[in-house]
A and B are shown apart, each in its own frame.
Chain A
Amino acid sequence: MGGVGGELRLPPQNFAASAIARTRIAEDSSLRLLCSDFSPPQCARIRRLNKNGRTDIPFGSLVFNHVLSQLSSFIVAQKSQSQGIVLVALSRGPLYYEELFKSKGNNVALSNKWIRVLDCCTDPLGWRSKLMESGRIANLTTGTSTRANLYKNVKDLDKLLSAIIELGKELVVEGNGRFAVAIDSVSEMLRHASISSVAGLLSNLRSHSQVSCLFWLLHSDIHETKAIAALEYISSMQASAEPITRPVNGQRGNSEKLPLLEQNLRGGKIHVRFKRRNGRVRLMSEEFCIEQSGIKFTPVSSEAEIIAQSLVPKVQFNLELSEKERNDRAKVVLPFEHQGNGKSIQIYDGRKSLNEDRAEMQDTSTEKVQTVEDSGRGEIIYFRDSDDEMPDSDEDPDDDLDI
């Protein structure tokens, strides 16, 4: 993940955020990307890809929560361009998010200033209000927070758009301030409206001058590929979370793939695709694991090393070398090297070396004498053992062996 932060070009007026984005802190680099604001409306999409092994945790919502709390802490610290968040809650109620912010240590009393929750979860189709108006059920609503604004007709996306913008304008102090929009989740929205109208809503939000960034959660295994592609074109960044290992289809019984599934519960991989304005696409991937305190992100390589180390079989003898042993091994002179008699090292490769040629030229005279003396060289002298043996017979010498 090196250099992720360094590649970011943030608007010069936003020094704090750019400084954060430039610091390369491994554990959060990909999320810092998602959380930093850009001058044009920035859309980030978090999706969860999970096709074969459905028995695992929906990490998408965890990543979404992480991004949301990260962004909110930036806003509270005034490190972000946006002055507040409008959270469109479709799949989880406002109470859930209240608890989330509480657990992250954000001041809930202050949160009135920077967050507005549009509650599309409690009564998305107006069933409750219909029943309450006719007096058939009592109004039991007890702990709903005052900050949550109930929205009762999710099918009407035009009204939803204006409700979001209205809430955003409440957050912004000056006229030209900006706010972020978070949608949880677009999958729910797609259940109530067509893909074209949802895409219309998202692109209207994206092009609104007061929306600094927009991010949403989508469960990609529920929807058709074309719907996912349509939403991907709108977004400038896409983070998809998937399990570390996919179960092989051949494994029928759950007991066989239990270890795999258990591994998937502890964490997963996240792939981030980031489209730059000039059209360049960067791909990044990281791994994450679930801890008590939240999600922890780690670069892929380090995790792979740990696995590689654990793969070395445990044996009784030592496979590693100590420092002294390593030094000793370096001192050993290999057989083809000269054993330290001052000559340069010559390795025979089948050809005569230059030095050898010269030496031969000098020694020609002496050699000639030798040749005369050893004229008998190269002869084969052979004595027959006895007369029984036929000279050069074709007989197999091992013929008498009974194999």
Chain B
Amino acid sequence: MNVQLPNLLEDALGGGGQKGGGRVVLIEDCVETSGAFVLHHFLKRSLSPNSSDAVVFLSFSQPFSHYDRILRKMGCNLVVQRDNKRLLFFDMQMLDSVGREEEKTSEDLLLALYEKVHKAVEICLSPPRNITIIIDDVSLLEVAANCLSNIVLDFLHYCYSLTAEFGCSLITLNHEDIYSSLDKPSLLLQMEYHADVVIKAEPLSTGLATDVHGQLTVLDKGLGGCFINSGKIRNFQFRIKDNQVEYFYPGSRT
């Protein structure tokens, strides 16, 4: 099974590193189909031995050991990368409880969080390189901020301004179905407005299948910088295996 399959996700993202300013990527998933594997893909890509990129990872959903176990199977040792200062991991499950004890307001909490991110970016910039900020996931960030979505958006805005200023990439995960009852899901819509690339993970419209685990829709708005080039949209299916994810076009698998 060593046949080199074309990585459709990489193709859809336009391959390799973006020059001149990072991009804002939003991953949307739902209960039926988790989009976490896309985050792992980005994590692995940024920490690949071919590059010197750094990652600032804010985790609200899982502890470090969870990511370590998954990435190890994919051939990437997170502990080593953390010691190399290429991965700055913030376990927000712990930090959140610390903030609560001191009875801080949500704004103070997110201001403190922004301080952490900014400092982390400062550290990573010491040799200038590409920095990827990953937030897993925004819905839990919202919970940490007492469901004040406006403050979450303020925090995200400051993260966006980091991407504009220092060329960082920002990758966020959010769940689409949480907002399905809202008429105007302000948080999700505003995140979509800010994103350069939106990746949606959905179940198959035809129902469950054993060898196809879902479909991805990648929308690249193509608005990098101010130079307009029309966007593109790709749709393909995937199958998650232990150490890799296979991507293929609908109907190309027997």
- State whether B184 touches A223 (Cβ < 8 A): yes
Query: Whole-angstrom distance between the alpha carbons of A124 and B198 in the complex?
Result: 25
Interface bits B175-197 vs A (CB < 8 Å: 1, else 0): 00000000010100110111000
- Find residues 148-204 in chain B having any chain A CB closer than 8 Å to their own CB: 150, 153-154, 157-158, 161, 164-166, 184, 186, 189-190, 192-194, 198, 200, 202, 204
- State whether B111 touches A127 (Cβ < 8 A): yes
Is B106's CB within 8 Å of the partner chain A? no
- State whether B150 touches A62 (Cβ < 8 A): no
- Chain A residue nearest in CB terms to B250: A255
Is B115's CB within 8 Å of the partner chain A? yes
Residues of B within 8 A of A93 (CB): 161, 164-165
Residues of B within 8 A of A293 (CB): 228
- State whether A96 touches B164 (Cβ < 8 A): yes
Is A166's CB within 8 Å of the partner chain B? no
- State whether B217 touches A221 (Cβ < 8 A): no
Interface bits A124-142 vs B (CB < 8 Å: 1, else 0): 1101101100001110111
- Chain B residue nearest in CB terms to A121: B161
Residues of B within 8 A of A55 (CB): 198, 200, 217, 219, 233
- State whether A222 touches B200 (Cβ < 8 A): no
Query: Whole-angstrom distance between the alpha carbons of A69 and B232 in the complex?
Result: 25
Residues of B within 8 A of A252 (CB): 205
Query: Whole-angstrom distance between the alpha carbons of A55 and B202 in the complex?
Result: 14
Q: Of B119, B205, B228, B229, which contacts A255 at CB under 8 A?
A: B205
Interface bits A86-105 vs B (CB < 8 Å: 1, else 0): 00000111011001100100
Query: Whole-angstrom distance between the alpha carbons of A108 and B231 in the complex?
Result: 28
Give B44 Cβ to nearest chain A Cβ, in Å: 25
Give A27 Cβ to nearest chain B Cβ, in Å: 16
Is B42's CB within 8 Å of the partner chain A? no
Is B41's CB within 8 Å of the partner chain A? no
Give A310 Cβ to nearest chain B Cβ, in Å: 19
Give A77 Cβ to nearest chain B Cβ, in Å: 21
Query: Whole-angstrom distance between the alpha carbons of A130 and B230 in the complex?
Result: 40
Give B130 Cβ to nearest chain A Cβ, in Å: 16
Give B107 Cβ to nearest chain A Cβ, in Å: 9
A265 with B235, Cβ < 8 A, contacts A58-B193, A96-B226, A131-B118 known? no
Give A78 Cβ to nearest chain B Cβ, in Å: 25
Query: Whole-angstrom distance between the alpha carbons of A357 and B115 in the complex?
Result: 108
Is A253's CB within 8 Å of the partner chain B? yes
Query: Whole-angstrom distance between the alpha carbons of A256 and B205 in the complex?
Result: 9
Is A291's CB within 8 Å of the partner chain B? yes
Q: Of A140, A144, A191, A295, which contacts B153 at CB under 8 A?
A: A191
Q: Of B165, B204, B219, B232, which contacts A253 at CB under 8 A?
A: B204
A265 with B228, Cβ < 8 A, contacts A93-B165, A219-B193 known? no
- State whether A222 touches B235 (Cβ < 8 A): no
- State whether B200 touches A65 (Cβ < 8 A): no
Is B49's CB within 8 Å of the partner chain A? no
Q: Of A62, A125, A258, A262, which contacts B154 at CB under 8 A?
A: A125
Is A294's CB within 8 Å of the partner chain B? yes
Interface bits A166-193 vs B (CB < 8 Å: 1, else 0): 0000000000000000000001100100
- State whether B202 touches A254 (Cβ < 8 A): yes
- Chain A residue nearest in CB terms to B221: A57
Residues of B within 8 A of A121 (CB): 157, 161, 164
Is B208's CB within 8 Å of the partner chain A? no
Query: Whole-angstrom distance between the alpha carbons of A144 and B161 in the complex?
Result: 12
- Find residues 232-270 in chain A having any chain B CB closer than 8 Å to their own CB: 252-256, 258, 261-262, 265-266
List B residues at the A interface (Cβ < 8 Å).
111, 114-115, 118-119, 121-122, 125, 150, 153-154, 157-158, 161, 164-166, 184, 186, 189-190, 192-194, 198, 200, 202, 204-206, 215, 217, 219, 221-223, 225-233, 235, 250
5 closest A-B pairs by beta carbon, nearest first, are A253-B205, A100-B226, A254-B217, A290-B230, A265-B231
Q: Given A55-B217, A96-B225, A99-B226, list of 9 further CB < 8 A pairs?
A: A57-B222, A92-B164, A125-B154, A127-B154, A128-B158, A224-B184, A253-B202, A254-B200, A261-B219
